[in-house]
Amino acid sequence: MTFTLDNAEHGNQVSGAMFDAMLATLQEEANRPSARVLRVRARGKVFCTGRERAGRDVESLRNEACRIIEVKRSLRTSPLISVAEVQGDAFGFGFGLAILCDFVLVAEHASLKFP
């Protein structure tokens, strides 16, 4: 199974729709296993420069936080062997996503950091 971050014009930031798609796929895989390995990769020059921050009030910020926690929990509890292919910079959530994986391959020129 492959997750490809494909939002290069915005630094491959993970959008709400991307979070929802990842979560749905991980939950479906948990209910009906069909893969053994999860490959997390990105298109373009960077791996991921963070996540979309759309929340503007307490409730929407809480919902964003819950979605992030659920994606991380689903990834960590999945029986899939996860491999992140970090071909470029990974900042914030992108760095967090990479280090959640079981194996992380990082390009020599890539920077990894939290803002």
- Report the pLDDT value the prediction gives residue 64, as an integer from 0 to 100: 87
* pLDDT surpassing 90 at residue 115: no
Tell me the chain's radius of gyration from C-alpha atoms: 14
Q: Tens digits of per-residue pLDDT, 21-69? A: 999 999 999 889 899 999 999 999 999 999 988 878 999 889 888 988 9
Average pLDDT, rounded, for the chain: 93
DSSP secondary structure of 2-68: EEEE--GGGTTPBPHHHHHHHHHHHHHHHHS---SEEEEEESSS-SB--B-----SHHHHHHHHHHH
- Report the pLDDT value the prediction gives residue 49, as an integer from 0 to 100: 95
* pLDDT surpassing 90 at residue 3: yes
- Report the pLDDT value the prediction gives residue 53, as an integer from 0 to 100: 85
